[in-house]
Amino acid sequence: MRGQATRMQKIALPLGFGLLVVLLWEAMVRGLDIPLAILPAPSEIADRFAASTGTLWIDFVQTVIKGALTGMLIGTLTGFAVALLIDRSDFLRRGLLPVASFMAALPIVGVAPIMVMWFGFDWHSKAAVVAVMVFFPMLVNTLAGLGATDLMQRDLMRTYSATHVQSLIKLRLPAAMPFIFNGLKIATTLALIGAIVAEYFGSPTRGMGFRISTEVGRLGIDMVWAEIVVSAISGTVLYGLVALVERWVTFWHPSQR
Amino acid sequence: MSQDTVISAKNLSLTFQTNDGPVNALKDVSLDINRGEFVSFIGPSGCGKTTFLRVMADLEKPTAGKVTVNGVSPEEARKNRAYGYVFQAAGLYPWRTIGGNIRLPLEIMGYDKAAQAERVKQVLELVELAGFEKKYPWQLSGGMQQRASIARALAFDADILLMDEPFGALDEIVRDHLNEQLLALWKKTNKTIGFVTHSIPEAVFLSTKIVVMSPRPGRISDVIDSPLPAERPLDIRDTKEFIELSHRVREGLRAGHEAE
């Protein structure tokens, strides 16, 4: 019974507070007569959203599916693969890891225009920006995870005279999963930011970043907010999906059971 | 060294280099262990009993002297999968079921699926955990987890079992019960067992041979062949022989201490 009550609270409480914020916002905009160009009321944003679902969908596909997800896939897989390589050789650890951390320090506003020059206006350059951004957190988290086994567990593998690959698959990768999912969660957040911001530096006439920057210029602030809503929902769903898979994969971890 | 010798150590020394200078974990240790023996290593912390066991298992390399296991070097014996090792903690993988944990060495050693299933079932019965195959380690008590880890070490065909204070973290009652089970198991499987402990009653109750060790440098101060009969119910601990033997072990431990 108690479990159910808290579960209800878990959903009802944030919903209630969210609703309260929206109501206060609506009342404030109407009561103080704030112009649309400064802050549209939630109802106005909702109207614009409903009227532009076609455009919003095109922008969503361009930015989230093509730009962010593709880039995230490339960046996280590369980060994971490089982590496996670095783990295997001390030579690479000393040589590659500093280079990778240097890459992590590159500012996105500097990388994005260069990627646009290299890969063109379409989503490919956005995916490249995202890949660069998510690569490092994935690499570092995977490396930390691979080092997370204790001496006794590794000794056990040694008594079986297990090969490197065997102990990687049977012991170290499963033990690294909580860390790897941590990296993936960070990557989802970065991926959306990267894909949207990269469109400011050149894109075809679609995409969430493109829409936001042009609509601001035309004072279509309600459309800007509609795009922000799409971005917030995409980010939440993406993060939730990763968390769901994490729950399923690391069911054994004390934080999940 | 006779034909029946399974483990043989000759003038074995191991020095760890630490920041505080070299530590003599083992110095001039010589010992023969015969097939089917139950040998306990007892002594205070720092006497090198665990290090000695780890040298046999090729988890540490000696700095001087020679060890053979089954007539070959410990490294070769490890690669031949000659021994099962039980650690102080059960160390079961939390993402695997109890059955999955026992299957782990079998998967690594390439047993086929049918053999894996049969052996898992067999050793689970041996340690009285039948029916717990599908449970996860965190759903079991500490004593049951340690039994599962023993089953894991028994699952493959190693005729040597090395145990490093396997029951050290368990309470007295559970420990008594596991000691009884271990004796029964040893009789059933005919394995050669090396068993590290710091409990005198445990060493005396279990062993056919008790090796008393003393620290700084780690060395053997006494080797006692147990006069106790093979059949050992728990109440054997109240007999005169048992008490006398415990007394001798205690004397050995004390002598090692005073020699410092």
% of chain B surpassing 90 pLDDT: 28
Reference A108, options A188, A195, A227; nearest CA is A195
Domain count, chain A: 2
- The answer to whether residue A208 is domain-embedded is yes
**Cα torsion for A28, A32, A35, A37, to the nearest 10°?**
-40
pLDDT band at B25 (very low <50, low <70, confident <90, very high): confident
Q: Is the pLDDT of residue A13 over 80?
A: yes
Is the pLDDT higher at B71 or at A145?
A145
Which residues of chain B does CATH 3.40.50.300 include? 1-46+57-82+158-238
List CB contacts (< 8 A) between B83 and chain A.
Answer: 159
Residues 128-167 of B with CB under 8 A from A: 136, 138
Give the Å distances, CA to CA, from B140 to B92, B135, B137: 11, 8, 5
Q: Is the pLDDT of residue B2 over 70?
A: no
Q: Are residues A23 and A143 in the same domain?
A: no
Q: Are residues A243 and A185 in the same domain?
A: yes
Q: Are residues A52 and A30 in the same domain?
A: no
Q: Is the pLDDT of residue A58 over 90?
A: yes
| Distance separating alpha carbons of residues B194 and B179, to the nearest angstrom | 14
Check residue A31 and give its pLDDT. Answer: 92
- The answer to whether residue A257 is domain-embedded is no
Closest Cβ opposite residue A161 in set B81, B95, B136: B81
Whether B94 and chain A come into contact, CB under 8 Å, resolves to: yes
Q: What token pair was written down for A168?
A: 């990687």
Is the pLDDT higher at A92 or at A196?
A196
- The answer to whether residue A108 is domain-embedded is yes
- The answer to whether residue A256 is domain-embedded is no
Q: Is the pLDDT of residue A2 over 80?
A: no
Q: Are residues A26 and A69 in the same domain?
A: no
Domain B1-46+57-82+158-238 fold is Rossmann fold (3.40.50)
Check residue A1 and give its pLDDT. Answer: 44
Backbone angles phi, psi at B204, to 5 degrees: -70, -40
- The answer to whether residue A155 is domain-embedded is yes
The minimum CA-CA distance between B112 and chain A, rounded to whole Å, is: 16
Q: Are residues A17 and A60 in the same domain?
A: no
Q: Are residues A160 and A83 in the same domain?
A: yes
Q: Are residues A184 and A157 in the same domain?
A: yes
Q: What token pair was written down for A134?
A: 């998510």
| Distance separating alpha carbons of residues B133 and B123, to the nearest angstrom | 11
Is the pLDDT higher at A136 or at B3?
A136
CATH number at residue A105: 1.10.3720.10
Asked whether A240 and A194 are in contact (CB, 8 A), the reply is no
Reference A115, options A201, A189, A193; nearest CA is A201
A155-169, A191-205, B151-165, B170-184: range with lowest mean pLDDT: B170-184
% of chain B surpassing 70 pLDDT: 97
Q: Are residues A200 and A143 in the same domain?
A: yes
Q: Are residues A211 and A168 in the same domain?
A: yes
In A, what residues contact B, Cβ < 8 A? 152-153, 155-162, 166, 170-171, 174-175, 177, 250-253, 257
Q: Are residues A85 and A206 in the same domain?
A: yes
Check residue A4 and give its pLDDT. Answer: 58
Domain with A22 in it: 1-34
A50-64, A82-96, B104-118: range with lowest mean pLDDT: A82-96
Q: Are residues A208 and A148 in the same domain?
A: yes
Mean pLDDT of A148-158: 90
A130-144, B144-158, B169-183, B237-251: range with lowest mean pLDDT: B169-183
Q: Are residues A119 and A84 in the same domain?
A: yes
